[in-house]
Structure 1
Amino acid sequence: MILIETIQKMYEHLIWANQRILETLQSLKIKNQEGSRLFSHILFSEKVWITRLQGMDSSRLPIWSDVDIEVCTELVMQNEESITIFFTNLAETDLEKIISYKNSSDKEFKNSVRDILTHVALHGQYHRGQINSRLRANGIEPVNVDFITFMR
């Protein structure tokens, strides 16, 4: 499989996994504050990185914010649309393009599009695992967001 196809598949999984986590958090009778906080962090981080990949300033965007599930719902939809548009216009040769950006501490960095896309996908999966851990600790069945489950 060509590298770009692998990365696109990772993002199809990311969209699927976010939707599954969202549906679970929406269905809880008692709100899971820490789960919602981690989920909003995933979504805000995706938005920040998408903004950077589009060559725009992300310095005013939050990375951590206590928001309700309705805001998460909106972010899921916005991010899915932005990701879809981004991949529609992405060529294999774009993966090695270097992106310059500043982090939330105003420190400048440079990374390839490939490395940024890989980071975002792995970052989200890490935090979805944390959400599942919080759910289990509260007696709630974790959400299966495994890549292989998505592929099946």
Structure 2
Amino acid sequence: METIRNMYEHLNWSNQRILETLQNMDVENKQVNNLFSHILFAEQVWFTRLKGSDTSELPIWAEVSLETCVALANQNNQHFKEFLSGLTNHALEQIVSYRNSKGIEFNNSVRDILTHVTIHGQYHRGQINLLLRANETEPVNVDFITFRR
């Protein structure tokens, strides 16, 4: 559980660093904003699935404002923090049944879902950093080891 909790603290720290960079940019980059909002929407979708609720009406890709991203990042952080606070090692092995965005049913453990959410976000943060560099903006250091230091 300690590793999972550390991964989610890192996830929130990374989201906040990306947000800060996007808020301080002189010119908005829609592609970067859309990738970042996708990370946040995916977090929301997976949290909703973990709670056993239907996600068919939740967006995965949507063009939203940075203010919406701020609110969503804070909401996601609070939801996952509360979820993880009551989670046991035994509960990590429970199977969650859900339908993906195409309506296909899948079953995965809580552990696998939680791990996926953190890796998925980091993958897209790498894409964001690539786009930032291409637009002559300093990439955001979101390395786990930097977080731990």
- Please give the TM-score of this superposition, normalised by the length of structure 2: 0.99
Pick the aligned partner of 1:124 from 105, 121, 127.
121
Q: 2:8: which partner in 1?
A: 11
Q: What does 1:103-114 correspond to in 2, within 5 Å? A: 103-114=100-111
SS across alignment from 2:90:
helix
Pick the aligned partner of 1:137 from 131, 134, 138.
134
Q: 1:31: which partner in 2?
A: 28
Distance in 2, Cα, partners of 1:117 & 1:140: 31
For 1:61, give the aligned amino acid. Answer: L
SS across alignment from 1:139:
coil
Pick the aligned partner of 1:60 from 46, 57, 60.
57
Q: 2:19: which partner in 1?
A: 22
Pick the aligned partner of 2:148 from 143, 148, 151.
151
User: Are 1:85 and 2:63 counterparts?
Assistant: no
- Please give the TM-score of this superposition, normalised by the length of structure 1: 0.97
User: Are 1:51 and 2:30 counterparts?
Assistant: no
For 2:44, give the aligned amino acid. Answer: K
Following superposition, the deviation at residue 58 of structure 1 comes to 1.1
Distance in 2, Cα, partners of 1:93 & 1:71: 35
Q: How much identity, in percent, do the aligned residues show?
A: 61
Q: Segments of 4+ in structure 1 off by > 4 A? A: none
